[in-house]
Structure 1
């Protein structure tokens, strides 16, 4: 008999951004929640590679669940980010038309935005485009200005959600994959790589493996078809070449390639959109990246003067339909949250709120809730290039990583946090250490000295997770 390691009200499967938000929401509701993540840290799968944009939903399908969740998530993030010390870079965005056909599509984009309740979206002429973005290539014919599109920290935000859940009694297990699901009278017994877990309710947020997890007990209602997106990261000096997020006019198959500053002071170019069968590996392709550089340089010629310091690729959990696939099964005490693609970072808090509605409607008799009388709010380390960082404060122990200006105090502090890193990827994402242009070449020895034996794997120079 498999050893029982936990008995809880709710198990959330998957520690991506949606799973992290779900973990927070159900813990703050007052239920006993366990987050299971098969990787070595949160954001080990699709969520670790995205464009980090906080979307208004201006171009989402009107009346869709995706739009509802995006706008609810956007508003909740705006309401709570200051309380958690999470950064917000108010970049705005411009959808740029380069052809007559694209120019003709702009009024429809504005109308859709207004239909979606994003009323400050306006069409602007070419002169206004260049007043806002003087470094763009010649030939832009006009654009759509979206004031409310912003950039956020894609890693600290989900970590803040998990941290707040842990502060209120939530539990998590990394390196804990679910291998079997067995129904019993009161709920589910899940066999995992660490032992058995019993729960009254399962919420499947497993991303690229969501249909496979549903497949442990039923024929899934959707099929994951992984879509790879490759990105280029330009040196920090390149970020000064643009002010807003530069978006293309979308096509029926893709939103296209964008240019965007990051919260960390870089500029990113991407993503591509490539369907593949492999759910685990997102390899970068040299020829595709060369093509991406060419596309970026056509939009922003000055890019040729700046170095690409990193490349990365991620897999989005697309399905056979272009919509969120959220299903509840009241008789089976199971909720499946699938098909959450590139808008998941924005929508995560809204998705969690929507799933709470499903719970209140169909599952509220499964267990009693004991919500906290007061809430604790975690104060996250500030990693934004545009805010005050620890390296400028006294007593920081000195800068260890000079590319990203990470201090000794920051490195030591993460191991005393509520959700300390358990792998190198987790350490990198929490601090930015070894994620600069030298990729750890100059600082890894000092980092290894500070980390000691507190991680279960060895520091590898040149390895980006």
Structure 2
């Protein structure tokens, strides 16, 4: 007992003096929030219940950088999506963040959908997406000859592109850490107490004290708000999205993001290339109570495969590399649930679902603006950013294996080198588990899904991850 109390005391002391802001959740939005607050001179601690960043809803998305052409006009979502898009384009070269310049088409496949395209065009123009235009059937097939012959027309949105969905938030978090932000993993929020103007947040390892709290908890956003405030202004209704990843050979059949005509409930099933050279179809939209396990199910995967073949018939012969599922933090209302109680130093970015990858930088600016206007603001000056180059994982750009001295290929499916594994493990924000290593390097994400490289990865990472890789593997 005395040793336990001593360990706890040491951890409590390590948390230090009160910080300006505790950011709860290290998903895409939390990483962007940490970066923005740190750039503006705030002292920041990020707490995350999982062993690594992007371990919740953020790890599964379609990796599209949206223009906001179909966002509700005048909405916070539209503002944040477009601000996020612009900022990503401004900073991406500083961090070596790739884009795949594809454009997107909202394709109509029957009379009803074709009749809605002019309305979508009007909305795009109202939202400032001035380069959107309608395409005839002949123009659609000239651009994408592999599409099903029953396509009727499309709305072309040229500036929609594909990005690396994991390197971008890793860049935000790493920059935040370089500017002084602290990251605490395996640090789920247990309880909270507001004492005058200070929050005291109880974590498994001790207590952190802050002048304000920013809730970026994603799928657990309403639960965290209840812990902090006693009640929540919104209710998370987890929405499962399943995906199929086709083999890289399938990517030749499509060069444009293929979007469906959206409904009031969902953006629908997308068919798109990935920056890693694959072809992706999904997501489904299945509401469920469970918040931890987004299982894949055969009927829905069969539906996705059939849908892909309906849109691009040549995919009937394509091989599937992987299937996966993620949970989107949908709420009882479609719009973002961004709100604040400045008198309590509480700020929330909740209900961020389909457009969160694009909007994250914009959401961070928006919430920081609310924070800066409140009594919680410290008035500290903006600090000079520190930038750095992330390794490229994009298939269409030069990769590490093409440069000599790479210490051998560890994962042959994705051509991941020993040098890349070591660089990830020795980085300023190293992975905490196997999922984190995969997202930083793409190891074990190819055709064999780790069958051939798992033992080598377990050996290379032994003692270097908080959650070991397959300790039972026979080396």
Per the normalisation by structure 1, the TM-score is 0.97
Moved more, 268-277 or 3-12: 3-12
Partner of 1:345: 357
2:293 — aligned with what?
A: 281
1:401-453 Cα distance to aligned partner (Å, 9 max, x none): 10000001111111221101121111111111111110111112222222232
Deviation at 1:397, TM superposition (A): 1.1
Q: Is the 8 A contact 2:212 2:376 kept in 1?
A: no
- Mapped to 2, the partners of 1:351 and 1:457 lie a distance apart of 31
Partner in structure 2 of residue 132 of structure 1? 143
Deviations 1:214-238 (A, max 9, x none): 1012321111111110000000001
How far did residue 337 of structure 1 move? 1.0
Q: Distance in 1 between matches of 2:149 and 2:98?
A: 33
Deviation at 1:456, TM superposition (A): 3.0
From 86, 90, 115, the equivalent of 1:75 is 86
Provide the rounded CA distance (Å) in 2 between the counterparts of 1:185 and 1:142.
60
Matches within 5 A, 1:74-113: 74-113=85-124
Aligned to 2:236: 224
Mapped contact 1:439–1:462 kept (Cα < 8 A): no
Root mean square deviation of aligned Cα: 1.5
Query: Is the counterpart of residue 121 in structure 1 residue 112 in structure 2?
Result: no
Quote the residue 1:458 is aligned against.
Answer: 468
Q: In the alignment, is residue 233 of structure 1 matched against residue 248 of structure 2?
A: no
1:420 counterpart = 2:441? no
**Matches of 1:13 and 1:428, distance apart in 2:** 23
Residue 137 and residue 250 in structure 1: after superposition, are their counterparts in 2 closer, same or farther (change >3 A)? same
The offset of 1:462, in angstroms, is 13
Q: More deviation in 321-330 or 247-256?
A: 247-256
Contact kept in structure 2, 1:440 and 1:461, CA below 8 Å? no
Structure 2 residue 269 is matched with structure 1 residue 261 = no
Of residues 277, 283, 289, the one that matches 1:271 is: 283
Q: Which residue of 1 aligns with 2:402?
A: 392
4+ runs of 1 displaced by more than 2 Å? 1-5, 456-463
* 8 Å Cα contact 2:197/2:345 also seen in 1: no
2:255 corresponds to: 243
Going from structure 1 to structure 2, the CA distance change for 1:76 and 1:291 (only over 3 Å counts) comes to same
Q: 2:93 is paired with a residue of what secondary structure?
A: coil
Task: Report how many aligned residue pairs link the two structures.
Answer: 461
Is the Cα contact below 8 Å between 2:461 and 2:468 reproduced in 1? no
Q: Is the 8 A contact 1:181 1:190 kept in 2?
A: yes
Contact 1:441/1:462 (<8 A) preserved: no
Counterpart residue number, 1:405: 415
Post-superposition offset of 1:328: 0.9
Identify if the C-alpha distance between structure 1 residues 462 and 310 changes in structure 2 by more than 3 Å, giving closer, same or farther.
farther
Instruction: Give CA-to-partner distance per residue, 1:345-366, whole Å, 9 cap, x none.
Output: 000000000011101222354x
3-state SS in 1 of match to 2:211: strand
C-alpha separation between the residues in 1 aligned to 2:471 and 2:270? 30
**Partner residue of 1:442?**
452
State the SS of the aligned residue for 1:143. Answer: strand
Change (3 A) 1:183 1:294: same
The answer to whether the Cα contact below 8 Å between 2:271 and 2:280 also exists between their aligned partners in 1 is yes
Alignment of 1:180 onto 2:191: yes
Change (3 A) 1:208 1:462: farther
Q: Deviation digits for residues 186-238 of structure 1, max 9, x if unmatched? A: 31000012211100010000001111111012321111111110000000001
